[in-house]
Chains A and B, each alone.
Chain A
Amino acid sequence: MAAEKSTDGGFNIDPMYQFKIKEWIPIDLGFIDLSFTNSAFFAFLAVGLVCLFLWTAMSGSSLVPTRMQSMAEGIYEFVRNMVRDSCGEAGLKYFPYIFTLFLFILGCNLLGMVPYSFTVTSHFAITVFLALSVFVSVTVIGFMRHGVGFLGLFWPMDAPAAMRPVLAIIEVISYFVRPVSHSIRLGANMMAGHAVLKVFGGFVAALGVFGVIPIAAIVGVTALEFLVAVIQAYVFAILTCVYLHDALHMH
C-alpha cells in the first residue's frame, strides 16, 4: 500500500475523466442546450439494445422457449412477481412503467461496464429525472385514488394523539426526501464503483511489474460492479414498488 502511495504521484490519471460529457453534435436553441452528447448516445443505445433483445427474444415466441426467449420471459416474470408481491393486483396496472424503468436502468448500468463506454446512470441529472418522474407519478396516483384523503398518509392514526403532529412532520420530511435518496443511491453507486475501477487502473500504470496485484483487485471489483449494476436496478424498481404501494393502499 505504501508503495502505491509513493509512486502514483507521478501519474496524473483523473478517475473522474470518464464521467465527462462531450458534445458530439452541438445543438443550441438559444434558450435550451439540446446538444447530442455521449450521454444521450449511450442512453439511446441502451434503449435500442433492450428493445433489440426483447424483439429478437420474443420474435419466435414458441411454446418451448429458446434460450433467448426464456431469458426475456424470466426477466418479465421476475419484475411482474415483484410488482404483484409488493403492490398487490392493483399495482399490475403500473407494471409496464416499472418494467421499463428496470430494463432501462439495467441496460444503462450494464452498458457502462463495457470499457471506454459512458455510464448514463452515473450522472445525477439522469437519476434525479427518473426519481422525480416516479415521485410525481406516484403522488398523482395517490391523489387520484384517494382524493384529499391521500393526505392521511402523513397523519398516523394508530399513534397516540399527542404524538401525531410530531410524527406528521417526520412523515412529510421523509416523503419529500424520497426522490433525493432514490436518485442519489443509483447515481452515487454507479459513479463510486467506476471511479474505484479507474483509481485502481491508475495504480496499475504507476506500479509497473507489480501492477499485477491491482489488476487482480480490478478483476474482483469488476465482478462486484456487475453485481452492483444489477442490484441497483433491482433496488430502484423495488423502491418504486414500495412508493406505489403507499400511494395505492396508504400503508
Chain B
Amino acid sequence: MEGDIGNMGQYIGAGLACIGMGGAGIGVGHVAGNFLAGALRNPAAAQEQTATLFIGIAFAEALGIFSFLVALLLLFAV
C-alpha cells in the first residue's frame, strides 16, 4: 500500500473497525447489568454465579477484541 489515499483508507478503516468495540461495550454492560438485576433479587445465589458472570463478559468482549484486531491489522499489517 502506498500513497496518501492508501494511508487515508487504512486510517479510516481502522477508525471504522473501532465502532465494533462499542457493540462489545453494550454487550458487556448488558451482561453485567442483568447479573446485577438478578443478584439483587436473589443475593444468596449471586456468589456462586460470579464465575459465570466473568465467562459471559469474556465471551461478549471477544467480539469487540476481533474489531480491535481488525483495526490493528489495518494499521500495522496491511
Contacts and interface: CB of A to CB of B under 8 A. Distances in A.
State whether these chains interact: yes
Interface of A: 82, 85-86, 180-181, 184-185, 188, 192, 231, 234-235, 238-239, 242
B51 A181 contact: no
A84 to B, nearest CB: 11
B58 A185 contact: yes
B42 to A, nearest CB: 19
Task: Across the A-B interface, give the 7 residue pairs with the lowest CB-CB distance, nearest first.
Answer: A181-B62, A235-B58, A184-B65, A185-B65, A188-B68, A184-B69, A188-B65
Contacts of B55: 238-239, 242
A111 to B, nearest CB: 23
Contacts of A238: 51, 54-55, 58
Interface string B34-70: 0000000000000010010011011001100110110
Nearest to A235: B58
B51 A185 contact: no
Interface residues of B, number: 12
Interface of A: prevailing SS: helix
5 contacts: A85-B51, A185-B61, A238-B51, A238-B54, A242-B55
A188 B17 CA distance: 15
Contact of B51 (A86, A180, A184): A86
B51 A82 contact: yes
A234 B69 contact: no
B54 A235 contact: yes
Given A85-B48, A184-B69, A242-B55, 10 more contacts: A185-B58, A185-B61, A185-B65, A188-B68, A188-B69, A192-B68, A231-B54, A238-B51, A239-B55, A239-B58
